[in-house]
Structure 1
Amino acid sequence: MRDWFGEMYKKHEKLGDFEYLEGKGKRLSRDVLEGDVLDRTIKSANFVPEWVQKRKDILVEMKNVIELRPHLDDQELEEKIDQVNALVRKYNRKCPPVMQRGLVSEKNLEDRYKSWQ
Protein backbone atom coordinates (compact mmCIF):
# COMPACT_ATOMS: atom_id res chain seq x y z
CA MET A 1 0.00 0.00 0.00
CA ARG A 2 1.39 3.38 -1.02
CA ASP A 3 1.92 6.22 1.40
CA TRP A 4 0.50 9.07 -0.71
CA PHE A 5 0.86 11.67 1.99
CA GLY A 6 4.41 10.65 2.82
CA GLU A 7 5.37 10.82 -0.86
CA MET A 8 3.87 14.29 -1.25
CA TYR A 9 5.61 15.49 1.89
CA LYS A 10 9.02 14.21 0.78
CA LYS A 11 8.57 15.75 -2.67
CA HIS A 12 7.77 19.21 -1.25
CA GLU A 13 10.53 18.91 1.33
CA LYS A 14 13.06 18.28 -1.47
CA LEU A 15 11.69 21.26 -3.40
CA GLY A 16 12.19 23.50 -0.36
CA ASP A 17 8.50 24.34 0.00
CA PHE A 18 8.74 24.23 3.80
CA GLU A 19 11.66 26.66 4.11
CA TYR A 20 9.60 29.83 4.27
CA LEU A 21 6.71 28.81 6.51
CA GLU A 22 5.59 31.39 9.02
CA GLY A 23 6.83 30.47 12.49
CA LYS A 24 9.49 28.03 11.26
CA GLY A 25 11.99 27.38 14.02
CA LYS A 26 9.81 28.97 16.72
CA ARG A 27 8.15 27.20 19.61
CA LEU A 28 4.52 26.22 19.29
CA SER A 29 2.14 28.11 21.54
CA ARG A 30 0.54 26.27 24.45
CA ASP A 31 -2.99 26.54 22.97
CA VAL A 32 -1.84 24.68 19.85
CA LEU A 33 -0.55 21.80 21.95
CA GLU A 34 -3.58 21.49 24.26
CA GLY A 35 -7.00 20.03 23.59
CA ASP A 36 -8.31 17.92 20.76
CA VAL A 37 -6.76 18.62 17.36
CA LEU A 38 -9.95 17.78 15.46
CA ASP A 39 -12.13 20.04 17.61
CA ARG A 40 -9.68 22.91 17.28
CA THR A 41 -9.41 22.46 13.51
CA ILE A 42 -13.19 22.36 13.07
CA LYS A 43 -13.66 25.48 15.18
CA SER A 44 -10.97 27.43 13.38
CA ALA A 45 -12.50 26.46 10.01
CA ASN A 46 -15.92 27.71 11.20
CA PHE A 47 -17.38 24.33 10.32
CA VAL A 48 -20.86 23.59 11.66
CA PRO A 49 -21.92 19.93 11.58
CA GLU A 50 -25.18 19.32 9.76
CA TRP A 51 -26.89 18.07 12.91
CA VAL A 52 -26.12 21.34 14.73
CA GLN A 53 -27.84 23.28 11.94
CA LYS A 54 -30.79 20.86 12.02
CA ARG A 55 -31.11 21.49 15.76
CA LYS A 56 -31.43 25.22 15.09
CA ASP A 57 -34.02 24.55 12.38
CA ILE A 58 -36.05 22.41 14.78
CA LEU A 59 -36.03 25.15 17.41
CA VAL A 60 -37.34 27.66 14.86
CA GLU A 61 -40.08 25.26 13.73
CA MET A 62 -41.12 24.45 17.29
CA LYS A 63 -41.32 28.13 18.17
CA ASN A 64 -43.47 28.76 15.08
CA VAL A 65 -45.86 25.95 16.04
CA ILE A 66 -46.14 27.27 19.61
CA GLU A 67 -46.90 30.78 18.33
CA LEU A 68 -49.42 29.55 15.74
CA ARG A 69 -51.05 27.02 18.04
CA PRO A 70 -53.98 29.24 19.13
CA HIS A 71 -54.87 29.83 15.46
CA LEU A 72 -54.68 26.22 14.27
CA ASP A 73 -57.40 23.61 14.29
CA ASP A 74 -56.60 20.09 15.52
CA GLN A 75 -55.71 18.73 12.08
CA GLU A 76 -53.42 21.67 11.21
CA LEU A 77 -51.69 21.36 14.59
CA GLU A 78 -51.17 17.65 14.04
CA GLU A 79 -49.65 18.33 10.58
CA LYS A 80 -47.27 20.94 12.04
CA ILE A 81 -46.20 18.56 14.81
CA ASP A 82 -45.65 15.82 12.20
CA GLN A 83 -43.37 18.24 10.29
CA VAL A 84 -41.39 18.95 13.46
CA ASN A 85 -41.11 15.22 14.18
CA ALA A 86 -39.84 14.60 10.64
CA LEU A 87 -37.06 17.12 11.37
CA VAL A 88 -36.35 15.45 14.73
CA ARG A 89 -36.00 12.07 13.01
CA LYS A 90 -33.53 13.54 10.49
CA TYR A 91 -31.64 15.18 13.35
CA ASN A 92 -31.48 11.87 15.27
CA ARG A 93 -30.02 10.11 12.22
CA LYS A 94 -27.22 12.71 11.92
CA CYS A 95 -26.29 13.55 15.51
CA PRO A 96 -24.20 11.53 17.99
CA PRO A 97 -26.34 8.95 19.86
CA VAL A 98 -26.05 10.79 23.19
CA MET A 99 -27.56 13.91 21.57
CA GLN A 100 -30.67 12.21 20.17
CA ARG A 101 -34.05 13.59 21.21
CA GLY A 102 -37.57 12.28 21.62
CA LEU A 103 -40.47 13.15 19.38
CA VAL A 104 -42.87 16.02 20.00
CA SER A 105 -46.56 15.69 20.79
CA GLU A 106 -49.38 18.15 21.39
CA LYS A 107 -48.99 17.58 25.14
CA ASN A 108 -45.21 17.96 25.43
CA LEU A 109 -44.56 20.64 22.79
CA GLU A 110 -43.64 23.46 25.18
CA ASP A 111 -41.57 21.20 27.43
CA ARG A 112 -39.65 19.79 24.45
CA TYR A 113 -39.03 23.31 23.17
CA LYS A 114 -37.54 24.33 26.51
CA SER A 115 -35.33 21.22 26.58
CA TRP A 116 -34.03 21.98 23.06
CA GLN A 117 -32.96 25.51 23.97
Structure 2
Amino acid sequence: MSNDEKPYYNDLIGDMLKRNDETQGMQHLKGAGKPLPKEYFSGDTFQHFQRIAKDAGYKPHWLKLQHEIRDELTSISEILEVEPHTDVESRIQKLNEKIREHNKHCPPPMLKGTVSRGTINVAKGYWM
Protein backbone atom coordinates (compact mmCIF):
# COMPACT_ATOMS: atom_id res chain seq x y z
CA MET A 1 0.00 0.00 0.00
CA SER A 2 1.40 3.37 -0.96
CA ASN A 3 1.43 6.39 1.32
CA ASP A 4 -1.41 7.99 -0.70
CA GLU A 5 -3.85 5.13 -0.08
CA LYS A 6 -5.90 5.19 3.08
CA PRO A 7 -6.65 1.88 4.78
CA TYR A 8 -10.26 0.75 4.53
CA TYR A 9 -12.25 0.80 7.74
CA ASN A 10 -15.90 0.32 8.50
CA ASP A 11 -17.59 3.59 9.52
CA LEU A 12 -21.19 2.51 10.08
CA ILE A 13 -22.39 5.71 11.71
CA GLY A 14 -20.70 7.89 9.09
CA ASP A 15 -22.25 5.81 6.30
CA MET A 16 -25.71 6.10 7.87
CA LEU A 17 -25.36 9.87 8.20
CA LYS A 18 -24.17 10.26 4.60
CA ARG A 19 -27.06 8.12 3.31
CA ASN A 20 -29.59 10.11 5.33
CA ASP A 21 -28.10 13.41 4.17
CA GLU A 22 -28.35 12.30 0.52
CA THR A 23 -31.96 11.10 0.79
CA GLN A 24 -33.60 13.38 3.35
CA GLY A 25 -31.17 16.13 4.16
CA MET A 26 -30.04 17.06 7.64
CA GLN A 27 -31.70 20.47 7.96
CA HIS A 28 -35.05 19.03 9.08
CA LEU A 29 -33.63 17.47 12.26
CA LYS A 30 -34.85 18.75 15.60
CA GLY A 31 -32.21 20.96 17.19
CA ALA A 32 -30.23 21.47 13.97
CA GLY A 33 -27.61 24.17 14.41
CA LYS A 34 -27.85 24.17 18.22
CA PRO A 35 -25.02 22.97 20.48
CA LEU A 36 -25.31 19.50 21.99
CA PRO A 37 -26.07 19.26 25.73
CA LYS A 38 -22.98 18.70 27.91
CA GLU A 39 -24.33 15.33 29.13
CA TYR A 40 -23.82 13.90 25.63
CA PHE A 41 -20.05 14.19 26.11
CA SER A 42 -19.74 12.22 29.34
CA GLY A 43 -19.99 8.47 29.95
CA ASP A 44 -20.65 5.72 27.41
CA THR A 45 -20.52 6.88 23.79
CA PHE A 46 -22.88 4.19 22.47
CA GLN A 47 -25.57 5.01 25.03
CA HIS A 48 -25.29 8.68 24.13
CA PHE A 49 -25.60 7.84 20.44
CA GLN A 50 -28.77 5.87 21.19
CA ARG A 51 -30.22 8.77 23.18
CA ILE A 52 -29.38 11.30 20.46
CA ALA A 53 -30.84 9.04 17.76
CA LYS A 54 -34.01 8.51 19.80
CA ASP A 55 -34.35 12.25 20.45
CA ALA A 56 -34.02 12.84 16.70
CA GLY A 57 -36.83 10.38 15.96
CA TYR A 58 -34.65 7.65 14.45
CA LYS A 59 -36.16 4.16 14.41
CA PRO A 60 -33.99 1.14 13.64
CA HIS A 61 -34.93 -0.90 10.57
CA TRP A 62 -35.98 -3.89 12.68
CA LEU A 63 -38.37 -1.74 14.72
CA LYS A 64 -40.04 -0.40 11.57
CA LEU A 65 -40.41 -4.00 10.38
CA GLN A 66 -41.87 -4.98 13.74
CA HIS A 67 -44.62 -2.38 13.35
CA GLU A 68 -45.33 -3.48 9.76
CA ILE A 69 -45.51 -7.13 10.85
CA ARG A 70 -47.88 -6.30 13.72
CA ASP A 71 -50.18 -4.37 11.38
CA GLU A 72 -50.15 -7.16 8.77
CA LEU A 73 -50.91 -9.80 11.41
CA THR A 74 -53.88 -7.75 12.59
CA SER A 75 -55.11 -7.33 9.01
CA ILE A 76 -54.84 -11.05 8.17
CA SER A 77 -56.51 -11.97 11.47
CA GLU A 78 -59.45 -9.65 10.75
CA ILE A 79 -59.87 -11.13 7.26
CA LEU A 80 -59.90 -14.68 8.67
CA GLU A 81 -62.48 -13.73 11.32
CA VAL A 82 -64.90 -12.50 8.65
CA GLU A 83 -64.21 -15.22 6.05
CA PRO A 84 -62.26 -18.20 7.49
CA HIS A 85 -61.78 -19.87 4.10
CA THR A 86 -60.19 -16.86 2.38
CA ASP A 87 -56.91 -17.59 0.62
CA VAL A 88 -54.29 -15.63 2.57
CA GLU A 89 -51.33 -17.94 1.97
CA SER A 90 -49.46 -15.47 -0.26
CA ARG A 91 -49.84 -12.74 2.37
CA ILE A 92 -48.61 -15.11 5.08
CA GLN A 93 -45.61 -16.02 2.91
CA LYS A 94 -44.72 -12.32 2.44
CA LEU A 95 -45.23 -11.77 6.17
CA ASN A 96 -42.81 -14.60 6.97
CA GLU A 97 -40.22 -13.00 4.68
CA LYS A 98 -40.57 -9.79 6.72
CA ILE A 99 -40.22 -11.78 9.94
CA ARG A 100 -37.00 -13.37 8.65
CA GLU A 101 -35.69 -9.91 7.69
CA HIS A 102 -36.65 -8.61 11.15
CA ASN A 103 -34.77 -11.49 12.80
CA LYS A 104 -31.61 -10.66 10.85
CA HIS A 105 -31.45 -7.14 12.31
CA CYS A 106 -33.10 -7.21 15.74
CA PRO A 107 -31.42 -7.84 19.11
CA PRO A 108 -31.35 -11.58 19.99
CA PRO A 109 -34.03 -11.35 22.71
CA MET A 110 -36.45 -9.94 20.10
CA LEU A 111 -36.19 -12.91 17.69
CA LYS A 112 -39.55 -14.38 16.75
CA GLY A 113 -40.68 -17.39 14.75
CA THR A 114 -42.59 -17.46 11.50
CA VAL A 115 -46.37 -17.82 11.40
CA SER A 116 -48.90 -20.04 9.69
CA ARG A 117 -52.63 -19.82 9.12
CA GLY A 118 -53.24 -21.66 12.39
CA THR A 119 -50.91 -19.52 14.50
CA ILE A 120 -51.95 -16.04 13.36
CA ASN A 121 -53.92 -15.22 16.51
CA VAL A 122 -51.21 -16.55 18.83
CA ALA A 123 -48.56 -14.58 16.90
CA LYS A 124 -50.67 -11.43 17.20
CA GLY A 125 -50.28 -11.70 20.96
CA TYR A 126 -46.50 -11.67 20.95
CA TRP A 127 -46.09 -9.08 18.20
CA MET A 128 -48.20 -6.47 20.01
Give the TM bin, normalised by the shorter chain.
0.5 to 0.7
Counterpart secondary structure, 2:64: helix
Deviation at 1:44, TM superposition (A): 1.8
**Corresponding residue for residue 58 of structure 1:** 69
**Corresponding residue for residue 89 of structure 1:** 100
5 Å-filtered alignment, 1:1-117, equals: 28=38, 33=42, 36-69=47-80, 70-71=82-83, 73=85, 76-117=87-128
- Higher-Rg structure is 1
Measure, in 1, the Cα distance between the counterparts of 2:35 and 2:62: 35
What value does the CA root-mean-square deviation take over the aligned residues? 2.9
Percent of pairs with identical residues: 23
Once the two structures are superposed, what CA deviation does each residue of 1:4-53 show, in whole Å capped at 9, x if it has no partner? xxxxxxxxxxxxxxxxx969xxxx46x87577212211112211111100
Stretches of structure 1 that go unaligned for 5 or more consecutive residues are 2-20
Structure number with higher helix proportion? 1
TM-score, with structure 1 as normaliser: 0.65
Counterpart secondary structure, 1:107: helix
Deviation at 1:112, TM superposition (A): 0.8
Q: Name the aligned partner's letter for residue 103 of structure 1.
A: T
Deviation at 1:80, TM superposition (A): 2.1
TM-score, with structure 2 as normaliser: 0.60
Measure, in 1, the Cα distance between the counterparts of 2:116 and 2:77: 12
Does the C-alpha gap of structure 1 residues 58 and 22 become closer, same or farther in structure 2, counting only changes over 3 Å? Answer: closer
